[in-house]
Amino acid sequence: MKKIKWTEGNIGDLTGKTIIITGANSGIGFEATKLFSKNGAKVIMGCRNLEKAETAKNSILKDVPQADLVIEQLNLSSFNSIKDFSLRINKEYKQIDILLNNAGIMTVPYNPTDDGFESQIGVNHFGHFYLTMSLLKVITTTPNSRIVNIASIAHKMGNLKPKTFKYEKGKKYSRGKAYSQSKLANLLFTYKLQELIGDKTMVLAAHPGISSTNLGSHLKVLRYRFAKFIFGLFNQSQYMGSLPGVRASTDKNAKGGDYFGPDGLFEIKGFPKKVKSTKRSHSKELQDVLWNESVKLTGLNYK
């Protein structure tokens, strides 16, 4: 029996939908923005760099002249920026159909966020936690709404160590371990939030496989020409990398807690399908630890 591939043709009509995408100006966020716009949605582009966001918007408008795009400044390494963004959104919009928590950083040097977190856990998890909690009321009162968190294959190597959440000058640091922890956190957050929300809103996750984005710009191994060549053989385009997140956002047959990734070997590349995350990501104990730490460190909680 021939396997049916999920493609952009399966997205369906999104007219009347309002979608927020973090990191919408580049990589898979840019491609998702284009696809959602192409299918009639209004897309709010949450971006740190407004100049790059404007360039991305103009690029999409060339291909999709009817695109309804709104740029809003959002810096996920700053709770103040997230708070300002959320206040504007909550004031101006009565519905949010989809929140796609897409933005992220990968294997960056050891630095603090504005609020003193190690930057990868700070941006990839705590920034999106703060954003999601700040928008939760309007999301959960929008019928058939969804929250989608972009995780990574790297979550399989992740461990949760709350003592590493805060930045400490002079501390030994593994960029790879910090990234894997942040991606595990994305999944722990997904499953715990779905448990708390119940059937009001679907909370899902997706990962892009290995995609040709600028996320890997800090990977030391990619400074070598041969490594770049090998990497190029196994990765996929930004467009293909965006499809798992787009499927999680729009698939009518999806259920809360579903996790989507590429259908190819080791989930590195391919068309999106439902995949499994590690046992660790389903640990109720770890989910509770992360949730309690997130509530304590952000001051925000469900209800």
Active-site residues, by number, are: 179
How far apart, in Å, are the Cα atoms of 288 and each of 137, 179, 185, 193, 230?
22, 20, 11, 10, 40
With b meaning 16 or more CB within 10 Å and e meaning fewer, what string describes 227-246? eeeebeeebbebbbbbbbbb
**Which of 58, 28, 59, 131 has the alpha carbon at shortest distance from 89?**
131
Q: Quick one: how far is CA 101 from the chain centroid?
A: 3
Backbone angles phi and psi of 117, in degrees to 5: -90, 155
Angle 297-199-158 from CA coordinates, rounded to 5°:
45
Cα atoms in the 13 Å half-sphere on the side-chain side of 61:
9
**Which of 196, 188, 129 has the alpha carbon at shortest distance from 161?**
188
H helices of the chain, where? 27-38, 50-63, 79-92, 119-121, 128-140, 175-197, 225-234, 238-250, 284-298
> Which tokens sit at 164?
């590493």
> Which tokens sit at 298?
């952000």
CB 26 within 8 A of CB 2: no
